[in-house]
Amino acid sequence: MKLKRWQRVTLWVLGTVLVVLLVAKHFLLDNPAAPGPEYVIDLAALHRAATAAPGALPDHVEVEKVAEFVVPRTLVVAGDGLGTHKMVLLAHRVVWPDHSLLVDTAMSEAACKSLPSGKFDAAAFERVEKAMVQAKDIVFSHEHPDHVGGVSAAPDFGAIATQTHMTREQLMSSKLERKAFAPDTLERLQPLDYQGLYTVTPGVVLQKAPGHSPGSQLIYVELANGARYVFVGDIAWTKDNITLGRGRPGIATLIMSEDRGAVAAQLKALAGLPKDVHVVVAHDPVTLESDLKAGVYRLGFGGT
């Protein structure tokens, strides 16, 4: 049977739309990024930097789960379907017998209202706020609000200004929500400038890792008992990004304007680390629970 002209046009349009949708699905949802230039994590160099300066190494690491929320799985791991994926919002505390250092500070209850299906733990965030004042140092994996939000919401910025260390890249980044900070507070911070590796204090070393954001960096922690941690921020949202070698899909990276090739290279480097190095992924509830059971962290901030 010969089709009428309008029927042929309709079929052509539908076919074209289907092809476009399939191509879009491939590039925006399914296709993982190819790694860019090699990213190197030199554990021997990190160890030397962590132990070169005189002073005791930290004793243990603590974690607070400030909130949990849900996002589509397809935004987390390229090609992983349309199910839901639970995420957690964490802050970590590196502890010595007489002082402490915070890695990221989560964000306030008001800010967490923007998270999809978010559940906030007010008691946990109160402990984070107290720990910020007590800390000798506060460092950040990157400048997104769910990592620096505790500082931006601090009721007394003066009490934490001297111990807050943001890199120049973090402070200058367009991804830093400056309006979340009280007027004239960011100007009080002395930008941290470094090349290569930077030792914050014995046992804690920074290494730049731009890609997810301009100010992204690895935070290496080595304890007195030899345990080693690498805090990766949002380079990976789940340990699956590392073990499967698949980062976020194209649509997620377009929304966040991240460098997919750089992130893919960093994921490859993280996958090559020895199994005894604890890779700390900021939003992965499954890895968090397994790490807590294994004694990798202590749950809840103490009082030092």
Q: How many CA atoms lie within 13 A of 273 on its CB side?
A: 27
The predicted pLDDT at position 19 comes to 42
Which pairing describes strands 119-120 and 204-208: parallel, antiparallel, or unpaired? Answer: unpaired
The whole-number pLDDT of residue 14 equals 59
Whether 236 is covered by a domain: the verdict is yes
For 48, the 3-state DSSP assignment is helix
pLDDT of residue 247: 85
pTM value?
A: 0.90
Is there a domain that residue 167 lies in?
Answer: yes
Query: In this structure, what token pair is assigned to residue 17?
Result: 């739309």
Task: Give the C-alpha separation, 194 to 198, whole Å.
Answer: 6
* pLDDT at position 161: 95
Pairing of strands 204-208, 197-201: antiparallel
Residue 6: per-residue pLDDT: 59
- The pLDDT of residue 10: 62
CATH at residue 53: 3.60.15.10
Give the residue from 80, 170, 98 showing the smallest Cα distance to 136: 98
pLDDT of residue 119: 94
The answer to the question of residue 32 being in a domain is no
6 in any annotated domain = no
Residues of the chain predicted below pLDDT 70:
1-33, 81, 303-304
Q: Total domain count for the chain?
A: 1
| Structural domain range at position 139 | 37-299
Q: Write out 269-298 in H/E/C secondary structure.
A: HHHCCCCCEEEECCCCHHHHHHHHHCCCCE
Question: What is the model's pLDDT at position 21?
Answer: 40
Q: Is residue 14 part of a domain?
A: no
pLDDT score, position 12: 52
Residue 219 lies in a domain: yes
Q: What value does the mean pLDDT of the chain take?
A: 89
Q: Please report whether residue 185 resides in a domain.
A: yes
Residue 288 lies in a domain: yes
Query: Rounded to an integer, what is the distance from CA 173 to the centroid of its chain?
Result: 16
φ and ψ at residue 143, rounded to 5 degrees: -100, 10
Give CA–CA dist 68/74, Å, rounded. 18
φ, ψ (nearest 5 deg) of residue 15: -65, -40
pLDDT of 131-141, one tens digit each? 999 999 999 99
Q: How many residues does the chain have?
A: 304
Q: For residue 303, what are the contacts with CB-CB under 8 A and spacing of at least 6?
A: 134
